[in-house]
Amino acid sequence: QLKQKIAQLESSCQEPCRDTAEIQETTGRDCQDIANKGARRSGLYFIKPQNAKQSFLVYCEIDSYGNGWTVLQRRLDGSEDFRRNWVQYKEGFGHLSPDDTTEFWLGNEKIHLITTQSTLPYTLRIDLEN
């Protein structure tokens, strides 16, 4: 039985990797901009804030009122160690997932780019669950 399992694993390792992460097509300066363009589904989106050199991936939560929220941090089960150094908090860590089931910190640099691109104030929403 062990030899059969090893053969199965070896066979699957020969196949090309399949990326199943679904990234939405709509892009914008932030998640509210994406929602304003008609997006109604929460998920992974590329955004490019005004002063960003390149776009980057974020998880946008689109609520039933048409508000787009950029998720800055997700903590679920302790699978990601958040005891990090300054550079790691600056750059971000963890992994974004299309089904919002992984832990991450978006990164101070990206948060700064998002929140300083407009003279309009941004709203911070904190959702805590136990």
Q: What is the pTM of this model?
A: 0.82
Q: Is 103 among the domain residues?
A: yes
Which tops the pLDDT comparison, 94 or 7?
A: 94
Give the residue with greater pLDDT, 15 vs 104.
Answer: 104
The confidence band for 13, taking pLDDT boundaries of 50, 70 and 90, is: confident
H helix and E strand count, the chain:
4, 6
Classify residue 10 by its DSSP letter.
H
Residue 28 counted as domain residue: yes
Asked if residue 15 is part of any domain, the answer here is no
Pairing state between β 104-105 and 68-70: unpaired
Query: Tokens in use for 123?
Result: 């709203």
55 with 27: CB under 8 angstroms? yes
CA distances from 49 to 22, 78, 80, 100, 129 (A): 21, 30, 27, 22, 30
pLDDT at 19 over 70: no
The structural domain count of the chain equals 1
Is residue 51 one of the residues assigned to a domain?
yes
* Side chain identity at residue 23, one-letter code: I
Could you read off the pLDDT of 54-94 as tens digits, one per residue? Answer: 999 999 999 999 999 999 999 999 999 999 999 999 999 99
pLDDT of 12 > 80? The answer is no
Q: Is residue 106 part of a domain?
A: yes
